[in-house]
Amino acid sequence: MQQAGLIHPSNPGCYYYLPATVRSMEKLVRVIDQEMQAIGGQKLDMPSLCSADLWRRTERWELMGKELFRLQDRHSADYCLSPTHEEAVTTLVAHQSTLSYRQLPLLLYQVTRKFRDEPKPKLGLLRGREFYMKDMYSFDVSEEAAYGTYESVCEAYTRLFSRLGLRCVQVQADTGNIGGTLSHEFQLPADIGEDKLLVCESCSFSANVETLTSDQTNCPKCNIGTLELSKGIEVGHTFYLGKKYSNIFNAAFSNTQNKPTIAEMGCYGLGVTRILAAAIEVLSTDEEIRWPGLLAPYQVCVLPPKKGSKADDASAIAEDVARGLSGTLAHLKGEVVLDDRIHMTIGKRLKDAKRLGYPYVIVVGQGALEEQPKFEVICQNTGETMFLSKDGLLDLL
């Protein structure tokens, strides 16, 4: 991503997200918004600066150790830069004195920067110290209802990854310092992944090795299959929290008898910047970036001929094609780049376009000047090259 000009390093684990990356991230956030809102999620935005008092109440001020970025304000009051928001959101809900069972389940989520002083920030956006996460928190009337919500978030995650065209496995996971009793990770299989997964070859059992006491080879669920070891990148994590946080902060609602009752909670993270980097990692080749179709920063690149070449007259046609595509096809509005660095050969610009991973590259050369104009189209995601008329182009795109 750094070589392709998508990110630029600043401090260890911190990056400038350059314009193409921001476009891609905004697209990812739109898809996430659709999936979270489809299951009743409401978007909010919580402060990144969080008072130590809240974190002391859950004892996580001590438990988090050096991973927590700590600071003091001018009055010497302790704060942290939030690595996650269970304390904050539970306090917020606890302050809603009129919350009724009729308003539950309540699913609140945000997409914000998270801060973690990782011991080993590495692999670009895969493990940063400042990164974007989508974190959702659910509040339910009962354990049963909370399990239902948990299921529906897991289904939404599965839908999200399938829309992105990414193969993802849902594995049993450890609850770590977040706590709770039930937890799953969403893992993208990849050799550079830092998590070790065990997947049963004959039943649906799959788990992060962290959850097993010894490395087992026999499946603990079906007892027949053997467990296959593989590596994955953790892109999402779901937790059933029960009343761990709601008890501490007194996050309650009034039940059918109008009695205050402590809510059942869940929390659900998605590594937004990590998903971008992981998708590029699993889809790309050594020379060319491939994006999930929905996330490519731009969909189409049009290459006019080199200035002074035999096909020079096709320049105006190239501009026309670029304008025509984004004008005619609503989904291509703002998605077409005209690479007008016409002092460079088509070959050089084509190499750049392939490296950046535009799903479609249209070369406007000699063929565009023929009686029946033809355009060369390279479909990056399938590797196909076609020669199409202008109508053919519109049909394809």
The alpha carbon dihedral of 262, 157, 13, 42 has a sign of negative
User: Does 244 participate in binding ligand ATP (rule CB under 6 A)?
Assistant: no
Contact of residue 232 among Mg ion, ligand ATP, none (CB under 5-8 Å per partner type)? none
Smallest gap, in angstroms, from Cβ of residue 243 to ligand ATP? 20
User: Does 184 participate in binding Mg ion (rule CB under 5 A)?
Assistant: no
Contact of residue 127 among ligand ATP, Mg ion, none (CB under 5-8 Å per partner type)? ligand ATP
User: Does 237 participate in binding ligand ATP (rule CB under 6 A)?
Assistant: yes
Pick the piece of the chain touching ligand ATP (CB under 6 A) from 17-25, 46-54, 123-131, 338-346. 123-131
Pick the piece of the chain touching ligand ATP (CB under 6 A) from 148-156, 218-226, 269-277, 342-350. 269-277
Give which of 9, 22, 261 is closest to 146, Cα–Cα.
261
b/e for 322-348, b at 16 or more Cβ within 10 A? bebbbeebeebeebbbbbeebeeebee
User: Does 264 participate in binding ligand ATP (rule CB under 6 A)?
Assistant: no
User: Does 236 participate in binding ligand ATP (rule CB under 6 A)?
Assistant: yes
Place of tokens 């905004």: 26
Pairs from 197-202 (Cβ < 8 Å, separation ≥ 24) = 197/169, 197/171, 197/229, 197/230, 197/231, 197/232, 198/227, 198/228, 198/229, 199/169, 199/171, 199/227, 199/228, 199/230, 200/225, 200/226, 200/227, 200/228, 201/225, 201/226, 201/227, 201/228
DSSP, collapsed to helix, strand or coil, labels residue 35 as: helix
What x/- string results for residues 273 through 302 when contact with ligand ATP is judged by CB under 6 A? Answer: xx----------------------------
User: Does 7 participate in binding ligand ATP (rule CB under 6 A)?
Assistant: no
User: Does 133 participate in binding ligand ATP (rule CB under 6 A)?
Assistant: yes
Of the two residues 17 and 131, which places its CB atom closer to ligand ATP in the complex?
131
- Interface residue list for ligand ATP (CB under 6 A): 84, 116, 118, 127-128, 131, 133, 176, 234-237, 269, 271, 273-274
